[in-house]
């Protein structure tokens, strides 16, 4: 009897996804644990493993299809010895899905392309192009953007000449035409909104991650009463300790960043002030016994927060190693759900961009997030004398339903003490 394979829910917030790439074809035999497809969720691009055994009888939803609802039939598997043609009828008629088409214009974002009017079927093409359009999967577009590759110079090996992940990974930045301006069509007539908003603009389609970010942060600002508390932290002792530790860890291939030390400092501060390691849950307050620190990372698809779990108990070298691995996965879109779901508090560091101070939006259901600015030389009063010092401004955003101002102030004071007397981070 044929088995219907349905679009899985690969994260708790996933309602629909993009079927980025099929890794099997009709006639292939699959077993439990085999990777069948790459699916782009609201957080990352993830591999989809087979649970059932059988032979692929029909690919119901073609790769590159967007907005595929969770639970929708995407493939039909036939049992051993079953006729493949007969098994095809087991798949319910799937709703149409729009192809993603990228205009072959210099300076035009892949996300801005309007969908082709023909559902579920890529326009016929000898290569990757059709007229002035380029047919590419969403995953291939993202990789091309990361590597600086112009898809106009890439030949597609997918169905009907579609450019897929393997095509882009095998290409180099030299695939971009040297004289894009000469090859580009004339400028498009700018769209306008009418009234005073008459500046030309480009409509960029939101990816799944950006949609989730927009929804969650809007809910956070509308439903969570934020309170902001800022302290100035002298970093000279912490920077000196970091230099000493890196010298001793060099042989192990570990290099601590300031952010690694701040992750540990926030976790230790939460240990000292457990009233801030909480979340508001309606008529209950959850107080956590472990410090799981979500760290904001800028990925190509949007902001994501991989988690250093139990950071209060981990050494600095382990935190540094885990953070580098998680950040790399985040930028490649390869984080697994358990690596970014959860967390009891968050850390967002914009110091590397020169930002002096900012207020971060709480990531629900967490009740606090620490926003860290750049360390810079400022005048500092020490024993009645003004001396130069490296100073950082740190701002805590707290859910006032769960955390009182006095408790938040104690946390910020604990953070300040740990950073200014950093031996507490290594014992």
Q: Does residue 21 contact residue 63 with C-beta atoms inside 8 Å? A: yes
Tell me: do 246 and 329 sit in the same domain: yes
The CATH number given to whatever domain includes residue 274 is: 3.30.559.10
Q: Identify whether 199 is part of a domain.
A: no
Catalytic residue among 97, 226, 338, 400: 400
Q: Is residue 59 part of a domain?
A: yes
Q: Count the domains in the chain.
A: 3
355 within a domain of the structure (yes/no) = yes
The pLDDT of residue 173 is 53
> Does residue 215 form part of some domain?
no
Last residue of a domain, one of 149, 182, 215: 182
User: Are 268 and 178 in the same domain?
Assistant: no
Per-residue pLDDT of the chain (427 residues; tens, 9 = 90+): 788 899 988 776 678 888 888 999 888 888 888 889 988 876 677 888 888 888 888 899 998 888 889 899 998 888 877 777 777 765 544 443 433 333 333 333 333 334 443 333 433 333 444 445 577 776 777 778 777 788 888 888 776 677 877 787 777 654 544 444 444 444 444 455 545 667 888 888 887 778 888 888 999 999 999 999 999 999 999 999 999 999 999 999 999 999 999 999 999 999 999 999 999 999 999 999 999 999 999 988 788 999 999 999 999 999 999 999 999 998 888 888 889 989 999 999 999 999 999 999 999 999 999 999 999 999 999 999 999 999 999 999 999 999 999 999 999 999 999 999 999 999 8
Specify if 243 maps to a domain: yes
Question: Final residue of a domain: which of 182, 213, 235?
Answer: 182
Task: Tell me which long-range contacts 211-218 makes (C-beta under 8 A, separation of at least 24).
Answer: 211/42, 212/13, 212/42, 212/43, 213/302, 213/303, 216/363, 216/364, 217/361
Same domain, yes or no, for 127 and 260? no
- Residue 97 falls in the annotated catalytic set: no
Q: Is the pTM of this model over 0.85?
A: no
Output the pLDDT for position 227.
Answer: 97
Which 8-state DSSP code applies to residue 137?
Answer: -
User: Which H/E stretch holds residue 231?
Assistant: strand 226-234
**157 and 81 in a common domain:** no
Residue 206 located in a structural domain: no
Helix (H) / strand (E) containing 380: strand 376-382
In a domain, 277, yes or no: yes
The rounded distance, in Å, linking the Cα atoms of 157 and 201 is: 33
Do residues 300 and 411 both lie within one domain?
Answer: yes
Question: Could you tell me if residue 147 is inside a domain?
Answer: yes
Same domain, 332 and 277: yes
Shared domain check, 111 and 56? no
Phi, psi angles (nearest 5°) of residue 34? -70, 140
Give the pLDDT confidence score for residue 90 in this predicted structure: 58
411 and 319 together in one domain: yes
Tell me, yes or no, whether 264 and 348 share the same domain.
Answer: yes
Task: Give the domain range for residue 62.
Answer: 3-90
- In a shared domain, residues 276 and 383: yes
Q: Please tell me whether the peptide bond between 365 and the residue prior to it is cis, using omega within 30 degrees of 0.
A: yes
**C-beta atoms surrounding 212 within 10 Å:** 21
User: Are 118 and 55 part of one and the same domain?
Assistant: no
111 in the same domain as 77: no
pLDDT, tens digit (0-9, with 9 covering 90-100), for 137-158:
767 777 787 777 888 888 887 7
């Amino acid at each position: 009897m044929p088995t219907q394979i349905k679009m899985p829910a690969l994260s708790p917030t996933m309602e629909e996804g993009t079927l980025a790439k099929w890794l099997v074809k009709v006639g292939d035999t699959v077993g439990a644990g085999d990777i069948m497809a790459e699916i782009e969720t609201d957080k990352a691009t993830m591999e989809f493993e087979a649970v059932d055994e059988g032979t692929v009888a029909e690919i119901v939803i073609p790769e590159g299809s967007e907005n595929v609802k969770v639970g929708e039939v995407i493939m039909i598997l036939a049992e051993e010895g079953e006729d493949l043609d007969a098994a095809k009828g087991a798949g319910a008629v799937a709703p149409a899905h729009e192809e993603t088409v990228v205009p072959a214009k210099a300076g035009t974002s892949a996300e801005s392309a309007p969908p082709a009017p023909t559902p579920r079927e890529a326009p016929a093409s000898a290569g990757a192009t059709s007229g002035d359009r380029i047919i590419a999967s969403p995953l291939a577009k993202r990789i091309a953007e990361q590597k600086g590759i112009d898809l106009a110079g890439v030949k597609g090996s997918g169905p009907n000449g579609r450019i897929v992940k393997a095509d882009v990974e095998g290409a180099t930045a030299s695939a971009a035409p040297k004289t894009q301006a000469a090859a580009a069509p004339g400028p498009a007539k700018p769209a306008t909104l009418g009234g005073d908003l008459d500046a030309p603009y480009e409509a960029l389609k939101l990816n799944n991650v950006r949609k989730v970010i927009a929804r969650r942060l809007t809910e956070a600002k509308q439903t969570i009463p934020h309170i902001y508390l800022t302290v100035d932290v002298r970093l000279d002792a912490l920077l000196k300790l970091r230099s000493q530790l890196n010298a001793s860890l060099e042989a192990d291939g570990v290099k601590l960043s300031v952010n690694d030390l701040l992750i540990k400092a926030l976790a230790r501060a939460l240990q000292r002030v457990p009233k801030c390691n909480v979340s508001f849950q309606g008529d209950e307050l959850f107080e956590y016994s472990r410090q799981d620190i979500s760290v904001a990372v800028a990925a190509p698809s949007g902001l994501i927060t991989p988690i250093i779990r139990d950071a209060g108990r981990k050494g600095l070298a382990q935190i540094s190693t885990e953070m580098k691995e998680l950040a790399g996965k985040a930028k490649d879109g390869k984080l697994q759900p358990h690596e970014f779901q959860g967390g009891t508090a968050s850390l967002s560091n914009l110091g590397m961009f020169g930002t002096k101070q900012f207020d971060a939006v709480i990531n629900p259901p967490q009740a606090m997030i620490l926003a860290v600015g750049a360390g810079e030389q400022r005048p500092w009063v020490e024993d009645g004398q003004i001396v130069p010092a490296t100073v950082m401004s740190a701002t805590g955003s707290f859910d006032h339903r769960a955390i009182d101002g006095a408790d938040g102030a104690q946390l910020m004071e604990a953070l300040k003490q740990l950073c200014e007397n950093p031996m507490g981070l290594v014992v």
